[in-house]
Amino acid sequence: MKKILALFAVIAITISAASAQDFCLRAGMNLANHIGDTDSFKQVKVGLNAGVTVDFEVIDDLYFRPGLLFSMKGGRNNQGDDLFCNQNYLEVPLFFAYKLDINRNLGLDFQTGPYLGLGLFGKTKNKTRNTDGKTFKRDGNNGVHRFDFGWNFAAGVDIDQFYFGFGYEFGFLKLHDNNNWKPKNGCFMFNFGYYL
């Protein structure tokens, strides 16, 4: 299933890039934590996001917007030990965007859609005990699943060739196999972009 979703994402990006209307370089800040029925890692972890999106016009003012982004997520728990969970993902957003022109140089931008995430690397650090370990599962270790899938809602403003926006991503998949602890990714995102 994961390979099929990844293949679909690559095909969608390739087709869209071939007839793309606009490429947008984006970078910004993440405010991430773990959501769900858990008290752990609820505190915000600050991170970065950066990448590129492409806009492919479907009908007037409605665009398909795939992309490729690097996104830093995770969470912090200082109940007892001071723990940081760092999760760094390569994400493929598959969004739909609606652009509303206010005038020639100003427009509103609304987007929503799913994203696919692949965990690249990360460390879980215990500052109290001065220990750390790899965040993502490897060779049977009890870590975070590498694959993530979720949904994004965002809004922004286009001013000439510049984009300013904010949004929220929430994951659908549990990060762990532990039935007593079912955290998922949650992340507020603030972005600055430039249309090429």
Percentage of the chain lying above the pLDDT 70 cut: 78
Q: How would residue 160 be classed by pLDDT, with cut points 50, 70 and 90?
A: very high
Mean pLDDT of the chain: 84
Q: What is the mean pLDDT of residues 153-177?
A: 93
Domain hosting residue 170, numbered range: 2-195
Residue 72 sits in a domain whose CATH number is 2.40.160.20
Tell me the pLDDT tens digit for each residue of 26-76: 999 999 998 876 666 678 889 999 999 999 989 989 999 999 999 999 888
Number of domains in the chain: 1
Is it the case that residue 152 has pLDDT exceeding 70? Answer: yes
Integer angstrom CA distances of residue 146 from 67, 82, 112, 133, 183:
19, 23, 23, 15, 14
DSSP 51-65: EEEEEEEEETTEEEE
Structure confidence at residue 36 (pLDDT): 78
∠ at Cα 90 (97, 174), nearest 5°? 90
| Cβ atoms < 10 Å from Cβ of 31 | 15
